[in-house]
């Protein structure tokens, strides 16, 4: 079994870091950047919390839409 929890989502990696989890390593791949965290129950609980947080999902969606507006003005 893998000893790391890995994700490629910048949003999820940021959320886990905000919750106090350390990024053990990050590596660039052909598909993007992979972030590695300890594979613990606490990390999985935080991921579940992230996935269930509808306000957070709405914020991320609206942030992406605002970012597209800003990028369109460049």
Q: How far apart are CA 64 and CA 66, in angstroms?
A: 5
Q: How far apart are CA 48 and CA 42, in angstroms?
A: 10
Domain with 60 in it? 4-72
Q: How far apart are CA 34 and CA 54, in angstroms?
A: 24
Residue 63, pLDDT > 80, answer yes
This prediction has a pTM of 0.86
* pLDDT of 70: 96
Q: Tens of pLDDT along 4-44?
A: 999 999 999 999 999 999 999 999 999 999 999 999 999 99
Q: In what order do the strands lie in the sheet with 32-38?
A: 4-7, 32-38, 25-29
* pLDDT of 1: 64
Give 9: exposed, middle or buried? Use CB within 10 Å, 0-12, 13-18, 19+.
middle
> How many structural domains compose the chain?
1
């Amino acid at each position: 079994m893998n000893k790391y929890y890995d994700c490629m989502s910048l949003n999820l990696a940021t959320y886990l870091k905000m919750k106090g989890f350390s990024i053990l390593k990050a590596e660039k791949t052909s598909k993007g950047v992979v972030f590695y965290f300890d594979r613990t129950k606490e990390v999985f609980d935080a991921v579940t919390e992230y996935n269930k947080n509808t306000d957070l999902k709405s914020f991320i969606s609206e942030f992406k839409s605002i970012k597209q507006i800003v990028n369109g003005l460049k």
